[in-house]
Amino acid sequence: MLTACAATYLPIKMELVPLSGHPSFSNSAAPSSMTKAHSAWAEFFQGFIGGSNKGLSAALNNASTAQRLGAAVAEFERISADERLSILQGTAMASDAKNTGADWVVSQYAALLRYAQQTRDSERAHRAKNAHKIVDSDRPSVTEAMLFGYSLLLSGHLYKWRMVAGLQGGQSQEHLTDIVDQYRRAHADGLADVAIEIQVEGRPIIASVEAIFVRALLVHRLSSGNLNNRQLDILDNWFCDWMRALWLTRDAPISAAFAFDLASGQGLRPNAEDSDVAATTPQNKQMVYLPMHAVQRRLDEAVAMFHRGKVAPGWGLGQAFRIEEHIGVMDYLAREMTSSLGGVGSKPTEKPTRVLLPPDTAVAVYVGLNDVWSFAAVKRATSSKRGNGVSTGTHAYPAFSQKAGNFAPIDLARKTWPLHDMSTTGAGFALDHGLAQSVETGDLLSLTHTNAREPIIGYVTRKAPQQSGNRVMVGMQILARNAVRITLDHLVQPESGAQRPGVSALFIPGEEIASTGQPGVRSNISGQLRGDDSIIISETISKAQSSLRLKAGETAYTIRFGRVRLRGRGWNMVAFEVVAAEPIA
Amino acid sequence: MVIRQALDTAAIFSASSIANDATRMRIRERYILARFPQFAAQRADLTVPEIVLRYAHEMAEDGLTQRAAELMTLAIEENRGLRKVWLALIEFSFLQGDSHRLSELCTAFKREFPDATLEEFLLLDGLTEPDADIEAVRTKLRYWASGATVASIADANGLRRDLFAH
């Protein structure tokens, strides 16, 4: 029996991260609960790789190496659950302790992965050496399949946590090459289709080795910095839960699909994109396809779970995250599928030309709706009868409007960021890790270029470490170049006579207005507004208020909010209509 | 035989089935208000067909077709008697080419409104045969969705606009 044989070549020599030398233990800021978890895991893992069953269920005494590995992975995820949750829930301004914690999680998943791969290779070598002695050929296959499965699973975990820790750029080729190599070997051994039971966050999931490979590919494809850490974890848990339904096909499906070339090891690509290439050089490719409707159906099921009052997938750390994070993942996944997989024959959208800028190009940036509204030199609508209607001039930032001889106050909100590239629809920044910690995917930004009179309003769509170097690439999608700063009043004021403070918001002209480059704002803030005009407002306000009043020029417009067109971190961009217009008394 | 295969699939969910489960109701409410904050102030609007269809129409115009369909689904889950929303969602699924969802909805609709002579629709060859006469199916769908006479609707794709008109 293989299990008996396996015990003869275990334990495997492992290179452990020394407990005393790990940064966590030299960091006095690390919470004691964290160090306790590290100690508990280190004690367990050292015993585990030494062949001890201490800490494992008695039922595993005679278990295979793969089953013991599964128990160890489950034990690590149990011990580290609180710390991982704390890291994922951390704000953008992560503390040193949280950074250290993320590094620790990465190092432990790496250690488990090394163990899985070494054990798998030992099993294979042992089987090859003793093939003539092994009677029960089913047992080795299942054990090796499980080890392949865990290797691929842990590769996915490791990739995700390297992204969380800021140690890895999106879609690294090195990672992809590794998981493809693992899958090729499993396929060559005839193990790709073997269904196995694996543990994810303590939950048993039955999936084929191939499905675990697909999950790793999807994590690689879709974790390119467009999601924050919490959303990345939610998405990955969905993929893990969907593994039972993720099957690759060798024949190109009629419907939209992700395509993957096993020969070149290039990442998942839209079917339509690849079909052109396949038509010209089919001999050099080993194409496999993931039909998109399989992913769409699972996404529909996740949405249906929320309708039924359950947080999909019903397990994992994501259960503790805000509903808005889950919705962000739904929107992202739907957008990805729509944009890249419009159907067979569809062509990818042409990207605008990106201009690389000199290394010393810097711009002034404000982050978050409050700071953008308060400090960025956005045009503002005057809100009293004395005004001249909507101003088309630039609102001077207070620090710049001081009279000569006076010192301008220090502007803590203003950030100077190096601008890496620019296009008509977006901008890219190359930030060092310190600066990058102050921003997260979904944050609202204003960018003031030296040549521009007015700031550009946009939001962060991508944040990922560079493949090389120690900088983090932050991508910004432009929303407007001629936004207007507005203040909205509540329709009902308290009976006490005290005025409720106005609501800060930004008017975002519709696409037609923006494309013409004409201010034209006044003509839009009147009458029945349809079209593309929107207002950016805080998430809290947009939930609490359906109507507010905007005073512009000599008129007070009652505005009713409509659907949310876009949402970010703490803000919503909502459509609206004017339901009443009255002269200001 | 897409429709016939789907006859035994689960019908659309009803929110009333979890009314006694406070936790699940709270999660559902949180989800609805986070997904569609325009209903936060007037939650009851989610059961007003004209308002739901107007929002759905606007979302579809914004290219948010999945979200438009989800909104109509949520409205039906809240009140299964919203016949107009049912029919709009059926038509929407058809125009989206989502045959799986279409067949589910048609089945559920028939169960919900047994007095409707949906058999007429189900027996059409249009959706069940590969060489379907799409125009014939559309005409039938328009009839079901609008309750109006077929001749009164000229544009094959105009049903949604007619339904959403307010």
Q: Would you call B21 and A575 a contact, using CB atoms and an 8 Å cutoff?
A: no
Q: Would you call B37 and A323 a contact, using CB atoms and an 8 Å cutoff?
A: no
Q: Residue A543: its chain B contacts at CB < 8 A?
A: 33-34, 37, 40
Q: Would you call B38 and A565 a contact, using CB atoms and an 8 Å cutoff?
A: no
Distance CA A337, CA A331 (A): 10
A323 touches chain B (CB under 8 A): yes
Q: Residue B28: its chain A contacts at CB < 8 A?
A: 306-309
Cα distances from A154 to residues A49, A124, A571, in angstroms, run 17, 19, 36
- Which of A545, A565, A572 has the CB atom closest to B62's CB atom? A565
Taking CA–CA distances from B62, the nearest residue in chain A reads A565
The per-residue b/e assignment along B20-36, b for 16 or more CB within 10 angstroms, e otherwise, is eeeebeebbebbbbbbb
Q: Residue B64: its chain A contacts at CB < 8 A?
A: 563, 565
Taking CA–CA distances from B78, the nearest residue in chain A reads A307
Cα distance from B33 to chain A (closest Cα, Å)?
7
Q: Give every residue of chain B whose pLDDT is below 50, as ranges.
A: 1-9, 119-120, 122-130, 143-166
Taking CA–CA distances from B33, the nearest residue in chain A reads A543
Q: Would you call B37 and A565 a contact, using CB atoms and an 8 Å cutoff?
A: no
Taking CA–CA distances from A339, the nearest residue in chain B reads B63
Q: Would you call B77 and A561 a contact, using CB atoms and an 8 Å cutoff?
A: no
Distance CA A210, CA A66 (A): 17
- Which of A307, A327, A546 has the CB atom closest to B38's CB atom? A546
Q: Would you call A323 and B27 a contact, using CB atoms and an 8 Å cutoff?
A: yes
Cα distance from A538 to chain B (closest Cα, Å)?
12
Amino acid letter, residue A260: F
Q: Would you call B38 and A562 a contact, using CB atoms and an 8 Å cutoff?
A: yes
Q: Residue B25: its chain A contacts at CB < 8 A?
A: 309
pLDDT at residue A347, as a whole number: 46
Q: Would you call B28 and A563 a contact, using CB atoms and an 8 Å cutoff?
A: no
Written as six digits, the tokens of B160 are 């949604």
Q: In order along chain A (585 residues), what is the average pLDDT of each group of 10 residues? A: 36 43 41 75 85 66 81 92 90 56 91 91 79 57 88 93 77 79 88 90 91 91 85 95 86 80 77 49 72 85 94 92 93 80 47 76 88 75 42 34 45 80 87 84 86 81 77 88 84 74 85 40 37 83 80 79 86 83 77
Q: Who's near A224: CB < 8 A, 6+ residues apart?
A: A170, A171, A462, A464
- Which of A308, A311, A575 has the CB atom closest to B58's CB atom? A575
pLDDT at residue A222, as a whole number: 81
Q: Would you call B18 and A546 a contact, using CB atoms and an 8 Å cutoff?
A: no
Contacts 24+ apart (CB under 8 A), A312-316: A312/A238, A312/A241, A313/A237, A313/A238, A313/A240, A313/A241, A314/A241, A315/A201, A315/A202, A315/A203, A315/A237, A315/A241, A316/A200, A316/A201, A316/A203, A316/A233, A316/A234, A316/A237, A316/A240
Kindly report the backbone phi and psi dihedral angles of residue A476, in degrees, each rounded to the nearest multiple of 5, phi listed first. -120, 130
Distance CA A519, CA A484 (A): 10
Mark which residues 330-349 of A lie under 8 Å from B by CB: 334
The verdict on pTM exceeding 0.80 is no
- Which of B41, B58, B77 has the CB atom closest to A545's CB atom? B41
pLDDT at residue A74, as a whole number: 93
- Which of A323, A539, A542 has the CB atom closest to B30's CB atom? A323
Distance CA A84, CA A63 (A): 29
pLDDT at residue A319, as a whole number: 93
- Which of B23, B25, B58 has the CB atom closest to A562's CB atom? B58
Taking CA–CA distances from A570, the nearest residue in chain B reads B34
What ipTM describes this predicted complex?
Answer: 0.74
Residue A352 burial by Cβ neighbours in a 10 Å radius (0-12, 13-18, 19+):
exposed
Taking CA–CA distances from B12, the nearest residue in chain A reads A304
A563 touches chain B (CB under 8 A): yes
Residues in chain B: 166
Whether residue B13 contacts residue A308, with contact meaning beta carbons closer than 8 Å, is answered with yes
Q: Who's near B83: CB < 8 A, 6+ residues apart?
A: B113
Distance CA B62, CA A129 (A): 63
- Tokens 């009255």 correspond to what residue? A582
Q: Is there a cis peptide before residue A313, judged by omega within 30 degrees of 0?
A: yes
Torsion of CA A509, A511, A512, A514, to 10 degrees: 60
Instruction: Give residue-wise pLDDT tens across range B86-129.
Output: 888 887 777 776 767 777 787 788 778 877 655 445 444 334 44
Tell me how many degrees the CA angle A326-A331-A336 measures, rounded to the nearest 5. Answer: 125
- Tokens 């293989």 correspond to what residue? A2
Q: Would you call B73 and A543 a contact, using CB atoms and an 8 Å cutoff?
A: no
Kindly report the backbone phi and psi dihedral angles of residue A367, in degrees, each rounded to the nearest multiple of 5, phi listed first. -115, 130
Q: Residue A547: its chain B contacts at CB < 8 A?
A: 41
B75 touches chain A (CB under 8 A): no
- Which of A303, A324, A563 has the CB atom closest to B38's CB atom? A563
Whether residue A548 contacts residue A489, with contact meaning beta carbons closer than 8 Å, is answered with yes
B64 touches chain A (CB under 8 A): yes
- Which of A308, A322, A572 has the CB atom closest to B13's CB atom? A308
Q: Would you call B28 and A307 a contact, using CB atoms and an 8 Å cutoff?
A: yes
